[in-house]
Structure 1
Amino acid sequence: MNSDVNISIGLDPFYNFFNDKYEIHTFNESLTKLLFDIAANNGSLFIPYRDKAILAFENNYLITIVGISVVNQRAFKKLIELKVDGINYLDNTNNQIEIENVLKVIDNWLKK
């Protein structure tokens, strides 16, 4: 990870999980906006793998994970949104969700 790019603390589990498996690029808020037209509170994580990639960013305590596929043409698909509540992650129904399960699902999507 680039030391000059700050990412939200809510993205730390994503960085820690994917760092040993994939190449990770970090973008500051300006680059995230320029490249993806997405507003992020801090930096974002970009994790490419073959013809897919994951973009993870936080905006107002809401972490959004976007899947990007370039099989026929580039397509963006929101995979999941999580709310950060202290050290907990909540799904879209405000139920607590285990971040390890989310990471495994995202990893499987990236590999398939």
Structure 2
Amino acid sequence: MKSTLEEQQAFVTVVDSGSITNAAERLGITVSGVSRALNRLEQKLGTTLLRRTTRRLELTEEGETFLNHCRRILAAVDEAEEAMLDRHNQPQGRLRINAAPALCSS
């Protein structure tokens, strides 16, 4: 089974924020929701991404590798969404300007 973008976002946010609690706040979900996302992700990948202690989180070697891939994937998704939003915010179609011939002559 493949990981979801939500699981990848949770993982990246945990790493960036330094804790599951901070990540939950940033993502607007519960701490248990973030923890479950990380557990599902590690089960799907069959590896440990983060070493968890009571005081801190530490990336494993596999976690570091996966983090780099996740960052690229999430950046590509953001870029694709921005491209579509920009496209819809740009005027499209034909612009026709009509003017009286007297106004157009020099």
TM-score (norm 1): 0.26
In proportion to residue count, which structure has more helix? Answer: 2
Larger relative contact order (Cα-Cα within 8 Å, sequence gap ≥ 6): 2
In proportion to residue count, which structure has more strand? Answer: 1
Higher-Rg member (1/2):
2
